[in-house]
Structure 1
Amino acid sequence: MTDPQEAIDAEAAVRTTKRDSRIEERTAGERQDGIPFIGAGPGDPGLLTVTGKQLVEAADLVVHAGSLVNSELLEEYCADAEQVSSIGKDLEELIPLMRDAYENGRTVVRLHSGDPAIYGAALEQMDALEHEGVPTYLVPGVTSAFAASATLRTQLTLNGVSNHVAFTRPQGKTLEPEDDHIGEFVEMGDVTTCVYLGTHAVADTMDRLLADGHDPDTPVTVVYHASWPDEDIVEGTVATIGERLEAAGYRASALVIIGAAAQKTGYERSYLYGDWANRGTNESEADD
């Protein structure tokens, strides 16, 4: 087997000179040859897409993201498949596992939590497999920000409140301080900032926002285990959410939403269902 990093670099080099022909030939949601990398959704088995459900039900081997994927989903849709958790396994172990199973004629799926496109680390696995001659493709899933929005019965964008959405993460072991842009998003004012992979760092993140002079009354909502049976909501502000989250005892698996959209107040009626929607009718009447 080629060293995974060398395989990733080789595939990246090819892309600089040649576009993958499958981009023009295939569409998202279409079943294809190879190993699908499927977004399992945020937790509730019902939020797995129809295509994802069909693929996992037909699988012989399901390599999944451990406890990040609801065990009920695995029990309901993958009961007849061999199930292997990817937790604690590096590329040097995962790639041969999936490659050998595929080459031996088994139907293999790789099941990520949420949507693989958001902090999923899927592409490096796909590139390593492609370099080994195993085709791969992506099947989108529901990311936790969308599940959290549904739980809160709101939108991430609201006219007059939030015109933009940022998916981001805080500084830490894998992100340098200069690459942490949470403060910049909050400063813009009309951005709903969705913070992934940062439950353990909420208090530190809020302290930095306060130190940088951000409004301490800026709303912050934390949705723990969005769509899971033990889902919980912790509400506060930049000044209070750290202490409240610590009291709740959550250190992982929560989506942090900074901004007023989570409160669904103060928004303006959109143009979509007002005069703008009737402009054609009004113009016709004027012509008459």
Structure 2
Amino acid sequence: MTDAPDPQAAIDAQREKHAHERDERVYEHSAGDEQPGIPFVGAGPGHPRLLTVAGKEALEGADLVVHAGSLVNSELLDAYCDDAELVNSVGKDLEELVPLMRDAHEDGRAVVRLHSGDPAIYGAAIEQMDALEHEGVPTYLVPGVTSAFAASATLRTQLTLNETANHVAFTRPQGRTLDAEDDHIAEFVGMGDVTTCVYLGTHAVADTMDRLLAAGAPPDTPVTVVYHASWPDEDVIEGTIADVGEKVDDAGYRASAMVVIGDAAAGASYERSYLYGGWANRGETESESTSDD
């Protein structure tokens, strides 16, 4: 086993490198390609069938899977990781995880780092990848289905709806890792045509709603909380800014729920889009007639 790395020094070095040059692999590979090194795979929201094909293939060929503990459905691990050693990353810091994955890779083992949802959304993947890359271990990302998309599928709606929600905000509430001045939920909701998807905020739904009310948000704004979207114990709590906090507290949920704020959560008040209507054909005809002049 080689010496333990200094992850912070590696991260600092890689960040400096990112600031001055783009990795050449950006131009050589696209998402979905099988690449050399350790894949950082998005496990998806929970249901094993919502794992991507690329993620499934990586897991089925793995000798070692370092996974995000209870955030990854055990049914997914049972379905695709029969032949792999499983290591729970919960409670392990970079100083332990990086040499674990590096040494396994250097020993010729196929290693997969399995994150919940999509690593690009609050995944803390890049710091691990940078530390491994600094150690000479190539890495790459395999996208996953994020919980906001699973929630919208469960709710049988879209996050964007014509004349209702033109924008989507992925955000989190203030707390131990986000200062109050960096909490923009009230701003997003105040825009009126934004579907606001709140991650990592199940424990603070009531507080978040109180802050929205204090900021002048309409109390009757629809809010839907989807606990464990796509898991066997999935639960949907319907409410408004005025009452959903109490409902979530009564249910006892403190983690693993997606909070969706806005009319799109209910699939309400939208207008027929132009995509499949006569407007599109008229526009094409007008363009053609203009080009013929």
Which range, TM-score by smaller chain? over 0.9
Deviation at residue 119 of structure 1 after TM alignment? 0.2
1:23 paired residue number: 26
Q: TM-score, normalised by structure 2?
A: 0.96
Question: Which amino acid in the other structure matches residue 85 of structure 2?
Answer: E
Q: Tell whether 2:135 aligns with 1:144.
A: no
1:2 paired residue number: 5
Deviation at residue 275 of structure 1 after TM alignment? 2.0
- Greater Cα offset, 14-23 or 236-245: 14-23
Question: Which runs of structure 1 show a deviation greater than 6 angstroms over 4 or more consecutive aligned residues?
Answer: 284-287
2:157 paired residue number: 154
Q: Tell whether 2:120 aligns with 1:117.
A: yes
Q: How does 1:87-126 map to 2 (within 5 A)?
A: 87-126=90-129
Which of 230, 237, 240 matches 1:237?
240
Deviation at residue 259 of structure 1 after TM alignment? 0.3
1:246 paired residue number: 249
2:85 paired residue number: 82
* Secondary structure of 2:16 counterpart: helix
Which of 263, 271, 279 matches 2:282?
279
Question: Which amino acid in the other structure matches residue 11 of structure 1?
Answer: Q
Question: Which amino acid in the other structure matches residue 205 of structure 1?
Answer: T
Deviation at residue 17 of structure 1 after TM alignment? 2.0
Question: Which amino acid in the other structure matches residue 154 of structure 2?
Answer: T
Superposed CA deviations along residues 33-59 of structure 1, whole A, max 9, x for unmatched, are 000000000000000000100010000
For residues 178 and 88 of structure 2, what CA distance do their matches in structure 1 show?
26
**Structure 1: 5+ residue runs without aligned partners?**
none
Whether the 8 Å contact between 2:11 and 2:131 is mirrored in structure 1 is: yes
2:65 paired residue number: 62
Measured on the aligned residues, the alpha-carbon RMSD in Å equals 1.3
- Number of aligned positions between the proteins: 287
Superposed CA deviations along residues 59-103 of structure 1, whole A, max 9, x for unmatched, are 000000001001011011001100001001000000000000000
Deviation at residue 213 of structure 1 after TM alignment? 1.5
Q: Tell whether 2:182 aligns with 1:179.
A: yes
Q: TM-score, normalised by structure 1?
A: 0.97
* Secondary structure of 1:245 counterpart: helix
Deviation at residue 280 of structure 1 after TM alignment? 6.3
Deviation at residue 159 of structure 1 after TM alignment? 0.3
Deviation at residue 285 of structure 1 after TM alignment? 8.9
**Structure 2: 5+ residue runs without aligned partners?**
none
Question: Which amino acid in the other structure matches residue 262 of structure 1?
Answer: A
For residues 15 and 68 of structure 1, what CA distance do their matches in structure 2 show?
30
Deviation at residue 282 of structure 1 after TM alignment? 3.9
Percent of residue pairs bearing the same amino acid type: 75
Whether the 8 Å contact between 2:161 and 2:264 is mirrored in structure 1 is: yes
Which of 190, 211, 221 matches 2:193?
190
Whether the 8 Å contact between 2:5 and 2:99 is mirrored in structure 1 is: no
2:228 paired residue number: 225
1:130 paired residue number: 133
Deviation at residue 115 of structure 1 after TM alignment? 0.2
2:271 paired residue number: 268
* Secondary structure of 2:278 counterpart: coil
